[in-house]
Structure 1
Amino acid sequence: MEVDGGGLAAAAIPAIDMGGFPGELRRLKEACHLWGCFRVVNHEVPRELMAQMKAVVRELLDMPQEIKRRNTDVIAGSGYVAPSPANPLYEALGLYDVGSPEAVAAFCNQLDATPPQREVIGKYAKAIDELIMGILEKLAESLGLSRDLFSHWPCQFRINKYNFTPETVGSSGVQIHTDSGFLTILQDDETVGGLEVMDRSSGEFIPVDPWPGTFLVNLGDVAAVHTHIHDSEIIRVDFSA
């Protein structure tokens, strides 16, 4: 972390090289203790697939409301989330478990996904599930836990959209929050920032700039309770051009 002349901390979120293990185990543990979040680089999710999934996400969220509302919950809040008084700019679709081919197929069926969309969604779900499990195995190893501790945990997939207008630029896209799960892996926008995390020592929100081709990993409430390695990171999402 660096501090500028005005005293505001500027984020230097650690970058973890997925091709650098076991040498990265110590840095991974430190990132979890000190930050509660980190970037992963040199992962095996192709950038072309990341771009294709981003295009499919836009297509799905541009569908009529009556189709998006078919994306029903498996557990509360796991399906379609419409803009609400609490979060008027936020909208999302949900797939309960990317590691389940049946759940992926059900998600595609609910939204009448086309064959090309289904192909991209299926490939992306498989790649992300493998990446998440790889990160969890490395995290367990860094903490001296069993590598298969998380082998049967579901990996919920959220597709988020922030419906900003010129009048709402600068406002929060979603309420300040911590994530409820063990970890969140985020493919953020490649050109538009807005994600911020709280520096607990100062209480200031620190911008986390986009980094194309990488994923941001954030530890959630379950991780804080399960491992005692870090209090959950407090997150804010604003729009910035």
Structure 2
Amino acid sequence: MSQPDYESYPPLFRPSSVNPNHGGVEKESPEMEAAEGDGVPIIDFERMREDEEKVKEACREWGFFRLVNHGIPESLMSQMLESARELFSMAYEAKQAAFNSAAGISYFLGTAGLTASGAALASSNLNWMEGLNIPLSKVPELHYEDPMLESFRSLVEEYGKHQTKVGKAIYEALWRKLELETSNLSKYEESTKYFSEDTEILRVYRYPRCLEANRAWGVEEHTDSSLLSILHQDLVGGLQVYKDHQWIQVNPIPNTLIVNIGDMIQAISDDKYVSVKHRVKVNKENERISMGYFVFPGDDVVIESSKYKPFTYAQFRAQVQHELKSVGFKIGLHNFKRP
């Protein structure tokens, strides 16, 4: 275990700033524990057409699966993690200064769910996490004079292309093989209106060491607002998924991806597939790096469902923002349920 450079940590995450009552979690709370041995379904990207039933079962029973043979070069995945570690090792103030463009890569602290950083810092449920929010459609337009930042940008551009390919293939498989048909939407050709490459985001996270790891969450229990989320994590571990009334530890396995169904797939599938609850536990001894690819419907695209009142993704996002600021947690789809 190497000694971390606490100058790179946000001030609230440095040892002298640890609040023993952070997040209100009791130190020995059993809620922090999770079952060993994850049992997460494994899907071979190269065999998705042949393994239709396996994909269907994974999405129906878990809403969550591990993807192998995804085609993203292992060297690129390793470079992304190493480059992220290098960026996060910058002094806290330098990170804030380097990523201050709303149109490009932006720095966030505590939660990516709030657009106002002040609201995130004021939250009593501050997550033990910092990150970079990267709209992939903007990356080709960016340029940094700093060689380290430009190298990272270049890696992100290449990595994003691979993630787009994987994400589109999975989304197509959901419609082609899983028959996500509603009374309002039954044709695959029509379903493509929901998947918008303009909305693709890559979020890169660092979960700093936390000396009182049982008193904080890296990310608290939540569902993703996306259509799909694809996670690439290092080998530290901490991701947990809720299955059969218990939390299960998702073991990190090299060169694999974790895919989960988001709220938008739940809505357009008429609840046939449920957006899975998951969370991240922090580590007392090691930092954790992960990166998530998210894709959403376009802001003005109307989500059609027999279970939910019609809504646009812009309306859904605004509602979630309001919930996070007003009650401190996401309610999400429940507020759009039909009577």
Name structure 2 gaps, 5 residues minimum.
1-34, 111-120, 180-186, 286-339
Q: Give how far 1:10 is off.
A: 4.8
Residue among 6, 9, 16 paired with 2:43: 16
- Specify the alignment match of 1:167 in structure 2: 212
Which amino acid in the other structure matches residue 64 of structure 2? C
3-state SS of 1:16 partner: strand
Residue 133 of structure 2 aligns to which amino acid in structure 1? G
After TM superposition, give the deviation of residue 72 of structure 1 in Å.
4.2
The answer on whether the counterparts of 2:43 and 2:55 sit within 8 Å (CA) in structure 1 is yes
Moved more, 109-118 or 37-46: 109-118
Partner amino acid, structure 2, of 1:173: G
Given that 2:139 and 2:157 are in contact with CA atoms closer than 8 Å, whether structure 1 keeps it comes out as yes
Matched, 1:95 2:134: yes
Contact 2:127 2:217 in 1 (8 A): no
Matches within 5 A, 1:51-200: 51-69=78-96, 70-73=99-102, 79-83=106-110, 84=121, 85=123, 86-96=125-135, 98=136, 100=137, 103-106=138-141, 109=144, 113-144=148-179, 145-146=187-188, 149=192, 150-153=194-197, 154-168=199-213, 171-190=216-235, 192-199=236-243
Rate the CA distance shift 1:121–1:194 in 2: closer, same or farther, 3 A.
same
Q: Which residue matches 2:294?
A: none
Q: 1:87 to 1:30 in 2, by over 3 A?
A: same
Q: Which amino acid aligns with 2:134?
A: L
In the TM superposition, what whole-angstrom CA distance separates every residue of 1:87-133 from its partner, at most 9, and x where no partner exists?
2411111112x3x2xx1135654987544333322211111111111
TM-score (norm 2): 0.60
Where 1:19 maps in the other structure, the secondary structure is helix
Q: 1:210 matched to which residue of 2? A: 252
Q: Report if aligned partners of 1:219, 1:233 keep a CA contact under 8 Å in 2.
A: yes
Q: Is the 8 A contact 1:87 1:175 kept in 2?
A: no
Q: Which residue of 1 aligns with 2:263?
A: 221
Note if contact 2:210-2:282 (Cα within 8 Å) is conserved in structure 1.
Answer: no
- Bigger mean CA deviation after superposition, 12-21 or 64-73: 64-73
Q: Secondary structure at the match of 1:58?
A: helix
Query: What is the CA–CA distance in structure 2 between the aligned matches of 1:219 and 1:48, rounded to whole Å?
Result: 27
Cα deviations by residue, 1:164-201 (Å, 9 ceiling, x for unpaired): 233336742122111111111000122x11111112x3
Quote how far apart the aligned CAs of 1:80 are. 2.2
From 282, 303, 308, give the equivalent of 1:239. 282
Contact 2:127 2:216 in 1 (8 A): no
CA distance in 1, matches of 2:254, 2:175: 27
1:51, distance to aligned residue in structure 2 (A)? 0.2
Q: Is the Cα–Cα contact under 8 Å of residues 181 and 220 in structure 1 kept in the other structure?
A: yes
SS in 2 for 1:236: strand
The alignment-based identity, stated in percent, is: 30
TM-score by structure 1 length?
0.81
Q: Give the alignment's Cα RMSD to 1 decimal.
A: 2.7
Q: How far apart, CA to CA, are the structure 1 residues paired with 2:232 and 2:75? A: 13
Q: Is the 8 A contact 2:109 2:131 kept in 1?
A: yes
Provide closer, same or farther for how the CA distance between residues 74 and 232 of structure 1 changes in structure 2, counting only shifts above 3 A.
farther
1:117 and 1:73 map into 2 onto residues whose CA distance is 18
Larger radius of gyration: 2
Task: Say whether the 8 Å CA contact 2:36–2:249 is kept in structure 1.
Answer: no
Cα separation, 1, equivalents of 2:80 and 2:150: 14
**2:265 alignment partner AA:** A
